Amino acid sequence: MTNSPASQATLAVSPASDFRKALRPWLKPKIIMGGSLVFLLVFMGVLAPILSPHDPNLQNLTNTLQAPNWWGGAHFLGTDHVGRDILSRIFYGARISLVIAGTVVIISGVIGVGLGAISGYFAGRTDFFIQKLVEVIWAFPPLLLAIAVIAFFGQGLWILIAALVAQRWIPYCRVSRGQALSLRTRDFVDAARSLGARDTRIIIKHILPNLLQAAMVIGTFAMATAIISEASLSFLGLGVPPEIPTWGSMLADGRAYISTSWWLALFPGLCIFFTVLGINLLGDGMRDIFDPRLKRSGSGVG
């Protein structure tokens, strides 16, 4: 028996229609705008050595505080107080922001989701001790805790990352713990347990995969806060070493010249603003897609 032309056309169109249906939620304006800004950050960071017209640390005291030259000059966004090219430092600053934010999100997510899954699955005393640890660390202001870690261990890229991770794993842990408390009583977990699966296998195969969507949403917002915190610490002189260009250190350098050389602080400040805006828009759009409560209530539409 052969398929009719109508049924064949239906089979041919079905994959395309399924693809359009799956793609439609991702075509919201805030996801497109936020994703474009995040893509620009990644593009600038990855291709910084190619895009940068000058060495970001090359000093030229004969060209100090040169104003932006929009029409084909050697320094498109001007130079700083020691003659370094602002545009090149912005490109390399994007790379540092991307590395720090991405590393902080990954490490915080692994620690937080892992502890949250263990806390929610085992409950009882395990849950009690992990949540007490969360409450103790959560009592410290994030920026002050990061300053304390850097003051104790010294400055460095990995020390800065550890200082930012010190408290950013907690949102992952709290959300994962709440979801794991619900998942541990589901039928598929009871079925796996009745078949002899060990707790470790149940957590890895059945609990953790159901926590990834919420972790992805938290991670996007955590990237924004990590970038702001890194810029704040660099502005205070407690970030990465001075020879590494960052947007926060550029803001600190331009603070003394803001009344006469506005471009020193304006351009890195705009980079921080648009990067955080893009990440927040992308995270808000992802939350609308992944959060089932928003789907049911209809608040995620639009």
Indicate whether 144 belongs to any domain. yes
With b for 16 or more beta-carbon neighbours within 10 A and e for fewer, the 105-121 pattern comes to: bebbbebbbbbbbbbbb
Question: Binning pLDDT at 50, 70 and 90, where does residue 169 land?
Answer: very high
Q: Which residues make Cβ contacts (< 8 Å) with residue 68, sequence separation at least 6?
A: 75, 76, 77, 78, 86, 263
pLDDT of residue 11: 45
Distances (CA, A) of 183 to 44, 113, 193, 210: 41, 14, 13, 8
Indicate whether 196 belongs to any domain. yes
Mean pLDDT of the chain: 84
Indicate whether 39 belongs to any domain. no
Indicate whether 178 belongs to any domain. yes
Residue range 252-290, pLDDT digits in tens: 888 888 888 898 989 999 999 999 999 888 888 888 777
Indicate whether 286 belongs to any domain. yes
pLDDT of residue 16: 67
Q: How far apart are CA 279 and CA 222, in angstroms?
A: 9
Q: Which residue has the tokens 């800065």?
A: 160
Q: How far apart are CA 263 and CA 14, in angstroms?
A: 54
Does the CA dihedral 146-151-153-159 come out positive or negative?
positive
Q: How far apart are CA 144 and CA 167, in angstroms?
A: 11
Residue range 27-68, pLDDT digits in tens: 788 888 988 988 988 888 889 889 888 899 888 888 888 888
Indicate whether 65 belongs to any domain. no
Question: Binning pLDDT at 50, 70 and 90, where does residue 301 land?
Answer: very low
Count the domains in the chain. Answer: 1
Question: Binning pLDDT at 50, 70 and 90, where does residue 302 land?
Answer: very low
pLDDT of residue 4: 55
Q: Which of 19-33, 146-160, 185-199, 220-234 has the lowest mean pLDDT?
A: 19-33
Distances (CA, A) of 15 to 21, 25, 213: 10, 17, 24
Indicate whether 90 belongs to any domain. yes
CATH number for position 242: 1.10.3720.10
> 83 pLDDT exceeds 80?
yes
Range of the domain at 208: 86-297
Q: What global pTM score does this model have?
A: 0.82
Indicate whether 210 belongs to any domain. yes
Distances (CA, A) of 261 to 4, 158, 254, 258: 74, 33, 8, 5
Residue range 127-141, pLDDT digits in tens: 999 999 999 998 888
pLDDT of residue 294: 47
